[in-house]
Structure 1
Amino acid sequence: MKSMYSILFILLLFMAGGEGNKQSADDFITVDVTAKYPYKKLILQDFMDVEYIPLETNDEFVCGNFVRAVGRNHVIVTNRSNDGNIYVFDRKGRALRKINRKGQGGEEYNGLSSIVLDEDNNELFINDSYSNKIQVYDLKGNFKRKLSTNKDFLFVDMYNFDEEHLICHDSFNDNSTVAFHAGQSFMLISKLDGSISKEIQIPYEEKKSIVIKTPKDEKTGLYHAFMPSTVHPIVPYFADYALNEISADTIYCFSDHMMKPLVVRTPSVCSMTPERFLLLSLLTDRYYFMEAITKEIEFSPTDLVYDKQEKALFRYKVYNSDYTNDKEAFLKSTPLNGEIPSCQYLEAWELVQNYEGGRLKGKLKEVAAKLDSEDNPVIMLIKHKK
């Protein structure tokens, strides 16, 4: 297996060609995670559409800022505490209903690891990963069915793949030095019963983990674990998905049930101590946004972008043009879907301060003019241009 993998990696590097930050015209790119690339300044609205959704605030709908899913007609938001509340808004931000089915019963969930919205079938998939189950409800909160998952899996990242399947990532496999499950980290599971329909094969030489564990405390018997908050193993890429197996030197695009190399990193992750990982953030029709991050407790990232038009790599900063000052846009939030690869929440009190200080313009200024400092946050959707 090791020799086959080494041959594959060498072939990919040979085919990629190019030198410095310039790339060849092949379908995939190579990234030297140790290189010093030049800086590039980008304006978000030049390459993405931005939509602001002020969430309605009332006595029942005072909610947090955890955007779980966005569809054509709905926005699903929760608090970051494990209170079980699921807030359903429409795309204008009007409050529709609050769902709470938290509990220990057969039709309830104990936690909310992730939520998948399937508007075509009027369904919410509530991923209660530590209880090894996915509860399915309609958009009014009525229980429909339970998907039981293998206790050796920990599904956190999960997306609506097609009419019959969810695409999932097993965090146990990916982030443990000794995997609970000896198979692959990525799989398609049935929306009907949770059974595995397909394990997606990604070759790698040696299992790696991005988690840092401290030595066990002799008094308590406990240890602390650290990992960056911007690890997104599954990144929607229009109608496809980019799959980031951190143990591999190639990031693949999973399209029509076929694997296609998207990014090849060098040097090999197996050759580095400490390891330096390459993580995807956001993919557009022109740019691949990534970060190179060394396995150290500080987790200081180097933000990288590949410009497909210039066929070159850069370090980058992206700014939101709806601010009069240089306000950076955060592109590393958990991806939502193929139409909306990223989102931010903007606290109402901060927007009110910026509005009063004359630091807003355009659509954001219009939204902020109607806010109270104690309102629910404004959701900023970062969407592909049409």
Structure 2
Amino acid sequence: MRLGFTAAEEAFRAEASAWLEGELAGPFADLKGLTSLTDAPERRREWEQRLGTAGWSCIGWPKMFGGRDATLAEQVIFAEEYARAGGPPRLNHMGVELIGPTILAFGSDEQKVRFLPAIAAGTEIWCQGYSEPGAGSDLANVRTKAALDGSEWRVDGQKIWTSLAQFADWIFVVARSEPGSRGPKGLSFLMLPVDQPGITIRPIHQITGDAEFNEVFFDGATTAADNMLGAAGDGWRVAMALLGFERGVSTLAQQMGFRNELTAIVRAANENGRDRDALIRQRLARAEIGLQLMRYGALRMLSTPDSAAALTYKIQWASWRQALGELAMDVLGQSGEVAEAGSEAAMLANLFLYSRADTIYGGSNEIQRNIIAERGLGLPREPRGTSNA
């Protein structure tokens, strides 16, 4: 594992930093520092397309599909510089970080040509259809059904907690395509266009006032037969591979976002005098240590992709950030409850509210502990119920 960068890589950092600073201080200055995932969606779509035009959207992809053939070190550098420059949350995170790499790994040549350039160019936005009511993070218990009807797949069922579905052009879905199958068997991985009569999207309003998440209903929704990744019944393997990409280079950008939040908390403590409280200082120090450990762990994870350490990352950052949200409110005190909208204090209060869900979405802590036990430590699988509809 390398903790430093070469002169050539630092030159790449300077190039990326200069471009990002220029764009976020110029034509996209209104997006600099934006933290909400749903504000200014059209401007953020324009930003996706600007990244694509300049070749910064998917730099690790092959050039023929809109990337730069960037090395792992260069991908890490760009992720860090993007967060340091205050780049807005990626509207097409699901396309760039999840379905794109999965298509590269499992897609046919035709699928790669059809989907990857549009993702890189920011002209097609994606969302993820995994979680379901009654199944939650347990993907093996999905009930959404898919049936082949001539040259099309017909999909019926419901997904929930679907991030940014209201802005998406495509959704990738894990559905049960073999009647009577149970658990991870009999699942297929399908890609469906969102703009069709068979798909209904309903926003879920959160305690933060935002509506990032959605319910998605499928009532005879269709997609072409060749819009399947992998073979019929092989959806579990594809879905698990996709989740592996979720623990990729974007984790470094995520950590730079955490760094910005921690810096804001320290600044607030300095300004209101809470830094004179010994317990607060101790908690700030623990937060700093935890963030540093996450960085080194992520670098190790990226250096050895097959390491079982990757299984621990979600529970590590989710628990850390939830504690960070609590620290933010303890530093702000009552002022955090009446902070003016748009202020840094309001951002920290929103961090607290949002972080309540960190240990649930993307795989709850309970599910993550099972994964660590079963896949990392080789312990016996947890007994599962027999019902899967």
Tell me the TM-score normalized by structure 2. Answer: 0.22
| Structure with the larger strand share | 1
**What TM-score do the two structures reach when normalised by structure 1?**
0.22
Higher helix share: 2
Structure number with the bigger relative contact order (C-alpha 8 A, sep ≥ 6) is 1
